Amino acid sequence: MDLEKKTGTGRCELMGRKNNELLRTENLTKDFGKLRAVDNLSLSLEKGEIRGLIGPNGSGKTTVVNLITGVYRPTSGGVYFSGRRIDRLSPDNITHEGIMRTFQVARVFADMSVLENMLIPAFTQGTSRREARHRAEELLDFCLLGKLSNEPTRNLSGGQTMLLQIVRGFMRQPLKLYLLDEPFAGVHPAIKDVIINTIQKMNREEGVTFLIVSHELTTIRRLCSRISVLHGGGVISEGTMREVANDPRVIDSYLGG
């Protein structure tokens, strides 16, 4: 109940489903000099959901991902993961909490092979080489990258590189929350389908929760049961795609209102 009061101070009214909460941002604010990129944001994610985060350019979507993953420190407010405050942790420690992320420009290791890229996240989690390799091969096969596993990563296409970046995140075990920043941008439709299938499979089979930042509304509609709309660094609307699409504030924000 206390939480409802706190989230009520944000711009969105959360729907009161708190028992299963995995991630919560509380009055999260980030300033870059005089620019306020994230403004008093209160967002809550349930375990096992696939949440879409949409909004016009410059609305603060990537900054939110950067704040949750420790790349930026918030100016004020906090990030709580499974009830534990994480906004003072470094990115590597946040990864150890079971949170992974991707970047708009894929952060792969270009001079390593596809398989070596997959093995990197297993390094610090005490998985044996054999186990790690087995899981990597399974994941690569599922994503149709199996044949490329010994290929230097710099030879992959843009879409394959993005796919690899996404699949690599699943090497972290247990993976509880996965933040995908524009995973479909510039990706061939065939690869996009593979990404969607992978997200759905990992959500269904391993219970991974997703927060997906994207401009691709049709794909977001296909994947996400709930969507949060960001504008001016705060959530202006939240609900199903139908609900947010009919919200006049959302329409205004996209039309420059």
Partner 1 sequence: MVTIDWTLLSQYIISGVVIGLIYSLMAMGITFIYGIMRIINWSMGEFYMIGGYLQYIIITHFLGVENWYLGVLLSMVGVFLLGMVVQGLLIKPMFQGSVERRTEYATIVTISLGVLFTNVAVIGAGPFIYSPPGYYHGTRILTLPVSGTRFVAFIGTIVLLSLFYLFLKKTWWGRAFQGAAQNRMGIQTAGIDVFRLDQIAFGIGVALAAAAGALLAPEFYLHPRCGSIATMKGFEIIVIGGLGSIPGVLCAGLLLGLIESLGAVFLNPSFRDVYGFLFLLAILAIKPTGLFEERERVA
CA atoms lying within 13 Å on the CB side of residue 227: 25
State which of positions 83-102 bind partner 1 (CB under 8 A): 90-93, 95-96, 100-101
Distance in angstroms (rounded) separating the CA atoms of residues 112 and 238: 41
* Rounded Cα–Cα distance for residues 26 and 41 (Å): 6
120 binds partner 1 (CB under 8 A): yes
Min dist. Cβ of residue 61 to partner 1 (A): 17
| Distance of closest approach, residue 167 Cβ to partner 1, in angstroms | 13
Q: Which residues contact 37 (CB under 8 A, 6 or more apart)?
A: 30, 31, 60, 63, 233
Complex with partner 1: residue 121 or 233, whichever CB lies closer: 121
Fill in the per-residue mask, 130 to 169: x = in contact with partner 1 (CB under 8 A), - = not in contact: --------------------------------------x-
**Binding of residue 110 to partner 1 (CB under 8 A):** yes
Question: How far, in Å, CA of 101 to CA of 210, rounded?
Answer: 10
Per CB under 8 A, contacts with partner 1 among 2-61 are none
Residues that bind partner 1 in the complex, under the rule CB under 8 A: 69, 71, 90-93, 95-96, 100-101, 103, 105, 107-112, 116, 119-121, 123-125, 129, 168, 172
